[in-house]
Structure 1
Amino acid sequence: MTRLPDVSIPRLLLVGLTLTVVAAVVGYGSVSSAAFGAYNSGWDGTSALRSTAAGTGAQVTVAQETDAYDRAAPRRTVAFVVAPTSTYDSRAILRLREFVRRGGVLVVAADDNESVNYLLQGLGARARLDGRPLRDARVNFRTPAMPVVSTGPNQSLVSGVDGVTLNYGTAVRPRGATVVLNTSEYAYLDTNRNGTIDEGERLAARPVATVERIGAGRVVAVSDASVFINAMLDRPGNRQFVRELVDGRSRVLVDSSHAARLPPVRAALWAVRDSPLVQFGLGAAVVGLLGVVSRRSGALDALRRRWDGDPGVERSAVDREQLVAYLERQHPEWERERIERVVSAMRDDE
């Protein structure tokens, strides 16, 4: 019968505590609390955007840098730029524009109208975001600040969507782009932001999403990034809106290059995956660590064999001090601390 290792209760508790701490650190480092974060599972994150897209059967990738567009297969990919927190520079915009011109679909959803309008201009799109708060006094979800919008006339891009709910969004000025989603005729732009309709603020149907062709691809401009947050995807029509945008594409690219940075563990995994140099360094470190452990184990085994073969020692009667004295004779160059560690290891394995 195989003899089970004799493991002390304190050691088991230490191992359990260590595993718990490691699991907590990894778990905390794998998620994000940043608004619109791709790995934020809170109400204001977009983790549900990833899972909804994956539910269509598409392969979902979260991109930390815009060079991911260079590796994408444009005709099979739809990319989401949701609430960028910084402005894309000319080099990044060129990458996105080339992705679209080669057949990609790019969905740009606003939170900061200025940076999004700059991106749309750089892409060669005509649509622009208005920036003024959009309200609908009659067709809304609980408050005029959350209009419920419907598909535009003859719009096949999202033909399966019955309605989409906005959350403190704005309007899109199409300027020749095709309207995808429209408010009711009871909507207005709250120019002075006082929450009520005043003189000069007229009721009318307002576009909130457009599509236009650029090269072989398309750019979809959505006036409210909140459509894609976790809390809003539970509203009727919002999740289906995502499915319709992904429909027909086998790959989804969630662009986090100009949004909240990836959590540290996710960023580390991304670095390892995409860098052969990092992979080599990590592999070398693991091999080196295994070598050190193996050498230490081999040296300890050799010491045990010498100890067992010494005719001057009665193992049955040995105590800790005798073992210390034996090691001091065998290795006078060792420090007392090292001898104590070796004695502990040898006695634990008896």
Structure 2
Amino acid sequence: MRRSIIITSLLTIIAITFIIYLTPSSEDFDPSNPYWNGFSSLYKAHHPQLIKGSLDERLLRNPSNTILLIVGPEKNFTEYEAWILRHFLEAGGRIILADDFGSGNELLRSLGADVRLNGSLLVDPLFKERSMRFPRIRNLKVSGVDEIVFNYATILEGCGKPLAFSSSYSFLDLNVNGRWDKGEPKGPFIVACELDVGKGRLTVISDSSIWINSMLEMRDNRMFLERLIGDRSL
């Protein structure tokens, strides 16, 4: 999956070009992709601005009214981009990082955060949506959100302020054989957490697919996003 960065602001909303709308993309997380792996449903609901390419200091113009959603990053961020993101957070911006098997850990290191993505597959043979690889997350510390569903996710380590846990029946399928084997860690595991950075907030979620078209309306996935946004616009 490629790196996708969505920036939204109360004051800055732009439209996608007609060419993109007329030629639907099949790329993961693309707001013009109407298929199962796209972000067209999220885009229609919230009209975020999509950034493709490098971040720059424009992100620092109005951080206190801005949310930056980073989904499934593949490539590492440059030192300059990491500097921009650190200053964005310190000035009151909010970042939501949704990742599982991408380069999210490199970004977390560059931001000085202790939390890490484990990188092993989380499964739950009891609390599941369609298969054990779609675990239902029922222990959440987010108002108005009772249950969310993940899609081929991992877990978080080193988190001081958890927002969500998998069930005690979940485990890490280290060899990806679809069953628990001796030595494989058992839950509950932390799957979402938040950190205060300066005046801002960093939220980390161990699934990059939670808000794609095929997942957005599952259980409280949409409400989870809206609660994380809070009084800001996405």
Normalised by the length of structure 2, the TM-score is 0.85
Specify every segment of 5 or more residues in structure 2 that has no aligned partner in the other structure, as ranges: 1-17
Over 6 Å off, 4+ runs: none
1:51 aligns with 2:44: yes
Letter of the structure 1 residue corresponding to residue 199 of structure 2: A
Which one has the bigger helix percentage? 1
Change (3 A) 1:238 1:25: closer
Which one has the bigger strand percentage? 2
Instruction: Give 1:76 shift.
Output: 1.1
| Secondary structure of the corresponding residue to residue 232 of structure 1 | coil
- Pairing partner for 2:202 from 200, 214, 219: 219
Instruction: Give 1:151 shift.
Output: 4.0
Instruction: Give 1:204 shift.
Output: 1.9
Instruction: Give 1:147 shift.
Output: 0.4
- Pairing partner for 1:194 from 177, 180, 188: 177
Instruction: Give 1:242 shift.
Output: 1.1
Q: Distance in 1 between matches of 2:214 and 2:20?
A: 25
| Secondary structure of the corresponding residue to residue 211 of structure 1 | strand
| Secondary structure of the corresponding residue to residue 144 of structure 1 | coil
Instruction: Give 1:53 shift.
Output: 3.0
Report what 1:207 is aligned to.
Answer: 190
Confirm or deny: 8 A CA contact 1:124 1:214 kept in the other structure.
no
Taking the TM superposition and a 5 Å limit, the aligned residue runs for 1:105-116 are 105-113=94-102, 115-116=103-104
Range 204-213 or range 34-43, more displaced? 34-43
Report what 2:105 is aligned to.
Answer: 117
Letter of the structure 2 residue corresponding to residue 43 of structure 1: W
| Secondary structure of the corresponding residue to residue 240 of structure 1 | helix
Report what 1:171 is aligned to.
Answer: 155
Confirm or deny: 8 A CA contact 2:159 2:193 kept in the other structure.
no
Taking the TM superposition and a 5 Å limit, the aligned residue runs for 1:254-269 are none
Computing the radius of gyration from Cα coordinates, the structure with the larger value is: 1
| Secondary structure of the corresponding residue to residue 153 of structure 2 | coil
Identity %: 32
Specify every segment of 5 or more residues in structure 1 that has no aligned partner in the other structure, as ranges: 1-23, 55-59, 253-350
| Secondary structure of the corresponding residue to residue 42 of structure 2 | helix
Normalised by the length of structure 1, the TM-score is 0.58
Change (3 A) 1:66 1:131: same
Instruction: Give 1:142 shift.
Output: 2.1
Letter of the structure 1 residue corresponding to residue 74 of structure 2: T
* Corresponding pairs, count: 216
Instruction: Give 1:71 shift.
Output: 4.6
Report what 2:27 is aligned to.
Answer: 34
